[in-house]
Amino acid sequence: MPVEIAVIEGDGIGKEVVPAAVEVLDAVAATGSIGEFEYTYVDAGDAVLAETGEALPEDTYEAAANADATLFGAAGETAADVILPLRDAVGSFVNIRPARAFPGVDAVRSETDVVFLRENTEGVYAGHEDRLSEDLSTLTRVVTSSASRELAEFACDFVEDGRGPDGSEGFTVAHKANVMRETDGRFRDEVLAVAAERGVEADEELMDAFATKLPLDPTQYGVVVCGNLAGDVLSDLAAGLVGGLGLLPSANIGHDNGLFEPVHGTAPDIAGEGVANPTAAILSAAMLVEYFGYVEDGNRIRDAVEAVLTDGPRTGDLGGSATTTEVTEAVVERL
């Protein structure tokens, strides 16, 4: 049976990097153990909104919900109307965002090797925003014990399975419970309680202190568990330490479905020029392959990417002048 993948390129450079990731998936399927992929192309985002009046058409939502997994590019102004419902379509409760410095890439902190496990359904991204008057807008922050505990259980499994950097045996929970006492207090307490129940080492860090300490010494951290907004922002901070957003993949994991997307957005400044860095999307494809249990095939993709980053063509964000296609072909050649 082929693995059924919904493909949503979205806006901007999503249209350039997602085809690159598909090319790599096909090359892996042709030479590895995963078998065939069958793609259903659907779309979402700013351009779809302009065309149809809906940023996320029903058939796109359904395609993601019914596929074995989804490969997604990027959404711009419509991010809230596209990405959040898509995560819901696949039932995702955690967003895995690894930030690792690659040999050969000029990084601010070449020792960085951190994986963010980001709560993916609530916090300030739960969508409860209101304009109450000409002067006043409000936002309701949602934190439940159940979602916090589900994330924590995943984090415990993650470290117990040795999936953290250097086989980390524990994790750090980053929060702001000294100010958001009720919501982040609940989040922190539940995550630490699950870790204690499971006998997994866990410590805590205020997220602002974390934002200072990570760039000063990233080796202090391995697996970092955080709320939705904190995970979005802190992983972008980590991207800055390893060479930029063009390098960070992500996996939105559900119980029997997943959505794989580069951390970056649409990059309107370079969209359409064919020079976007496909690395983050290709590494997201590696996470997709691994999600189906084909760890060796995932590693093949990662090794090929690493080889290209070491001595192959590179795009402008990494100081080179190669096109998206040239980098993708170089990765495929090294598989």
Binding site for ligand GGG (CB under 6 A): 74-75, 79, 83, 232, 261-262, 264-265
CB of 60 to ligand GGG, least distance (A): 14
How far apart are alpha carbons 311 and 42 in whole angstroms? 35
CB of 261 to ligand GGG, least distance (A): 4
Partner residues linked to 91 by β-bridges: none
Of the pair 22, 74, the CB lying nearest ligand GGG is at 74
How far apart are alpha carbons 103 and 311 in whole angstroms? 10
Q: Strand 223-226 and strand 249-253: pairing? A: unpaired
Which residues have a Cβ under 8 Å from the Cβ of 210 and sit 6 or more positions away?
172, 174, 221, 224, 234
Of the pair 80, 295, the CB lying nearest ligand GGG is at 80
What DSSP designation does 253 have?
E
Of the pair 265, 312, the CB lying nearest ligand GGG is at 265
Strands (DSSP E) found in the chain: 3-10, 37-42, 69-74, 94-100, 113-119, 129-131, 137-139, 170-175, 201-206, 223-226, 249-253, 258-262
Among 208, 202, 260, 309, residue whose Cα is nearest residue 71: 260
**Structure-derived torsion over alpha carbons of residues 128, 249, 98, 211, reported in degrees to the nearest 10:** -50
Of the pair 65, 126, the CB lying nearest ligand GGG is at 126
**Amino acid (one-letter) located at 186:** R
CB of 109 to ligand GGG, least distance (A): 22
Report the sign of the C-alpha dihedral through residues 215, 98, 92, 281, in that order: positive
CB of 90 to ligand GGG, least distance (A): 14
CB of 2 to ligand GGG, least distance (A): 25
CB of 270 to ligand GGG, least distance (A): 15
CB of 302 to ligand GGG, least distance (A): 19
Of the pair 68, 261, the CB lying nearest ligand GGG is at 261
The string over 44-74, giving b where at least 16 C-beta atoms fall within 10 Å of a residue's C-beta and e elsewhere, is: bbbbbbeeeeebbbeebbebbbebbbbbbbb
Which residues have a Cβ under 8 Å from the Cβ of 276 and sit 6 or more positions away?
13, 16, 17, 246, 267, 270, 315, 324
Of the pair 29, 83, the CB lying nearest ligand GGG is at 83
Of the pair 147, 195, the CB lying nearest ligand GGG is at 147
Partner residues linked to 173 by β-bridges: 204, 225
Q: Which two tokens stand for residue 107?
A: 């990084």
CB of 290 to ligand GGG, least distance (A): 19
Of the pair 75, 332, the CB lying nearest ligand GGG is at 75
